[in-house]
Amino acid sequence: MAIGQIQAAVTGARPEAGDDALPAHVAIIMDGNGRWAAQRGLPRVAGHRAGVQAVRRTIEAAVAQHVGWLTLYAFSSENWRRPETEVRDLTGLLRHFIRSELDELHREGVRIRIIGDRGRFDTDIQADLVAAERRTTANTRLNLTVALSYGARGEIAAAARAAAEAVRDGKLDPASITEESFAGYLSTFGIPDPDLILRTSGERRLSNFLLWQSAYAELVFTDVLWPDFGASEFAEALAEYARRERRFGARPG
């Protein structure tokens, strides 16, 4: 990549038209809240609260860097297996974040979209999620997708069931199913596949996150714990992305 392109990724300067140095869609596996709290002798909920601050910083960084799509893995389908007190703390923080941050996100032109099994949350949280999506639906500055009670295997299985039901009902010819048409049954329909998937805390796995959509994503792993993540770490990930050569299975040019 040209030096100017990498500098743009680091400084947040708007890229030139047609410049592919910056990812259009960044997806983040936010990890390390518990370890952050343990290192400080604090309860896990303190780490989750600090993680909320990192969410704010990251949204601001994405807007500043002119990233159009940001997806945050906030609560996995497996997280329901955690102790009841921690689940209660997490859902309470989710409730507080939506109610306290929605006005600001709307003013900043952020569109909110939720993927995952929201039906497992309390009814008041479900109502808040619907309200957030409806209120921000016309915003275009940043498309923020939040994965809640989400698991990629479950998403793919649900898409397969929906396609099978369409075949059963005579609405779909099995011979017509392609990768593109099948993607239309996924919860991410209408969202571009991520160009960059970033995971914090030093772990190097996808943990059931966007498995279908990440087929050609660039993967970046950082040892930084999520509560310590901010604009500079986001910029470093973009700079790493700018150094990659994306070939999508083709030979180097």
Mean pLDDT of 190-199: 98
Mean pLDDT of 229-238: 98
Tokens at residue 179, please?
Answer: 């990768």
Mean pLDDT of 174-192: 97
Q: How high is the mean pLDDT of the chain? A: 91
Mean pLDDT of 99-117: 97
Give the chain's domains with CATH numbers: 22-152+193-243 (3.40.1180.10)
Mean pLDDT of 14-43: 84
Q: What is the pLDDT of residues 119-170, one digit of tens each?
A: 999 999 999 999 999 999 999 999 999 999 999 999 999 999 999 999 999 9
Which residues have a catalytic role annotated?
31, 79
- Yes or no: say if 55 and 30 are a contact pair by the CB < 8 Å rule: yes
- Cα(33)–Cα(184) distance, rounded to whole angstroms? 34
> DSSP states of 50-95 as a string?
HHHHHHHHHHHHHHHTT--EEEEEEEEGGGGGS-HHHHHHHHHHHH
- Cα(98)–Cα(131) distance, rounded to whole angstroms? 10
Residue 252 clears pLDDT 80, i.e. is over it: no
Q: Is 97 exposed, middle or buried (0-12, 13-18, 19+ CB in 10 A)?
A: middle
- Cα(176)–Cα(2) distance, rounded to whole angstroms? 42
pTM: 0.89
